[in-house]
């Protein structure tokens, strides 16, 4: 099977994936090629390809014609311009790129099949800085081509990923990548992430990872938001190494991972001080009060903290959490060691704005608690938004608040 086959299938089946004209099918098209003296044709070839000139014919009859000779010759044809006055081939690349930048994903792919020049322009990296492939059920070789085209933002959660088939070992330019809940082999994920060195926002929610993947993430020292919710397959040692390298993380979601108490301790001991939003919920017996104290000590600027579903967190954590002067959002849902009557103590948290205590109080007691804590909104966010690329409460197709220019429509 030829190398172009995956691209041909993509253009035929999708018009929303990447495509390439078939081998030997390139054809130069120009609406202004009717003239002999084209813009890019040397004069020697024009003369060579021109019809032979008529021989000079003179009349030999009669003395009156001896001094009056006449010539039969082809009159040179005038250059014919297109009806609009210009042809597409005469437009500079910069102007064509400006036109192509206004096209949708499907139209851009159709345009890439016009001619070889337009194919090269259609896959210029300036046109592929942001792509949203949500709704594309299967991504194979086309994923490798999208990433290789220089995409900076890529959104393709809940997708079945096959073999991207990268043509070279080049590093990828992608900075914002959402692969949440994709169906993908760990080896394929290792190949993709080993090529990433400039990641700033990354979501791998629900995926099976490996130590190799975590080591690759450690090389992306510019990561700001990292969502590993529900991940598994890596050791506490690799996790600690990654946290030591990625010192710019501001939002981190490591909730409900397949962690032991050693993983939780690795987070508490190595979490960067730059973290301001942390979701470390779902660890029941593995998150201890000592771990909470360590996190508070290492991250004094926390504004959003989720400790939900940790049964070892008690009311003794309140004085510790009160040290976080910037804390605005706190979640302790289903931390059953916290007595409902003690929730009134949150009146001492003067800067606290929202409090999630799902499962701790009955609905009948909620109005009483709200009256006792008038400056705090209680139980308004059942789902955490920490480091997640798209909030569950929003219906748009943003990627950490950023829109993608090229959107797949099925």
Q: Could you tell me which of 390, 377, 400 has the C-alpha nearest to residue 331?
A: 377
Q: What is the pLDDT of residue 121?
A: 87
**pLDDT for 33:** 43
Tokens of 234: 């890596």
* Residue burial 155-173, b: 16+ Cβ < 10 Å; e: rest: bbbebebbebebeeeeebb
Q: What is the pLDDT along the chain (410 residues), one digit of tens a residue?
A: 444 444 444 444 445 444 444 444 444 444 444 444 444 545 554 454 455 555 555 545 555 555 666 556 666 655 555 445 567 778 888 888 888 888 888 888 888 888 888 888 888 888 888 999 888 888 888 888 889 888 999 999 999 999 888 888 889 999 999 999 999 999 999 999 999 999 999 999 999 999 999 999 999 999 999 999 999 999 999 999 999 999 999 999 999 999 999 999 999 999 999 999 999 999 999 999 999 999 999 999 999 999 999 999 999 999 999 999 999 999 999 999 999 999 999 999 999 999 999 999 998 999 999 999 999 999 999 999 999 998 766 667 789 999 888 888 76
State how far Cα 271 lies from the chain centre: 25
Q: Which residues of the chain form CATH 3.80.10.10?
A: 129-249, 255-387
What's residue 73's pLDDT?
A: 62
Return residue ranges of the chain for CATH 1.20.1280.50: 91-127
* CB of 304 closer than 8 Å to CB of 329: yes
Q: Which CATH architecture has domain 255-387?
A: Alpha-Beta Horseshoe (3.80)
Closest CA to 95 of 118, 125, 112: 118
Fold of 91-127: Monooxygenase (1.20.1280)
HSE of 253, CA atoms in CB hemisphere, 13 A: 22
Tokens standing for residue 257: 């991972």
Pick the CATH number of 129-249 from 3.80.10.10, 2.60.120.260, 3.30.70.990, 3.10.400.10: 3.80.10.10
Q: Which residues pair with 178 in a beta bridge?
A: 155, 203
């Amino acid at each position: 099977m030829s190398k172009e086959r995956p691209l041909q299938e993509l253009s035929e089946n999708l018009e929303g994936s990447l495509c390439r004209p078939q081998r030997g099918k390139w054809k130069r098209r120009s609406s202004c090629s009717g003239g002999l003296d084209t813009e890019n044709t040397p004069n020697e070839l024009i003369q060579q390809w021109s019809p032979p000139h008529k021989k000079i014919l003179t009349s030999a009859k009669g003395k009156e014609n001896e001094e009056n000779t006449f010539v039969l010759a082809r009159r040179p044809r005038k250059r014919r311009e297109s009806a609009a006055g210009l042809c597409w081939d005469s437009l500079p690349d910069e102007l064509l790129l400006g036109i192509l930048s206004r096209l949708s994903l499907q139209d851009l792919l159709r345009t890439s099949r016009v001619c070889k020049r337009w194919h090269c322009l259609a896959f210029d990296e300036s046109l592929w800085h942001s792509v949203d492939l949500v709704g594309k059920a299967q991504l194979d070789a086309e994923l490798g081509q999208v990433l290789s085209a220089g995409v900076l933002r890529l959104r393709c959660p809940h997708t079945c990923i096959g073999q991207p088939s990268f043509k070279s070992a080049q590093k990828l330019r992608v900075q914002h990548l959402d692969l949440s809940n994709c169906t993908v082999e760990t080896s394929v994920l290792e190949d993709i992430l080993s090529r990433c060195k400039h990641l700033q926002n990354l979501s791998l929610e629900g995926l099976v990872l490996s130590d190799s993947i975590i080591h690759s993430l450690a090389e992306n020292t510019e990561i700001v938001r990292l969502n590993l919710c529900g991940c598994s397959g890596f050791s506490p040692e690799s996790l600690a190494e990654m946290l030591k390298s990625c010192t710019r993380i501001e939002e981190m979601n490591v909730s409900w991972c397949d962690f032991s108490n050693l993983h939780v301790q690795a987070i508490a001991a190595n979490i960067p001080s730059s973290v301001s939003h942390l979701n470390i919920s779902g660890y029941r017996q593995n998150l201890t009060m000592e771990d909470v104290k360590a996190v508070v000590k290492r991250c004094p600027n926390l504004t959003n903290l989720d400790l939900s579903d940790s049964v070892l967190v008690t009311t003794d954590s309140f004085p510790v959490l009160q040290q976080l002067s910037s804390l605005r959002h706190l979640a302790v849902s289903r931390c059953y060691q916290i007595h409902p009557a003690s929730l009134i103590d949150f009146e001492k948290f003067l800067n606290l704005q929202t409090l999630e205590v799902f499962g701790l109080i009955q609905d009948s007691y909620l109005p009483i608690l709200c009256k006792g804590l008038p400056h705090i909104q209680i139980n308004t966010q059942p789902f955490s938004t920490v480091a997640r690329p798209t909030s569950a409460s929003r219906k748009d197709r943003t990627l950490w608040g950023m829109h993608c220019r090229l959107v797949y429509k099925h």
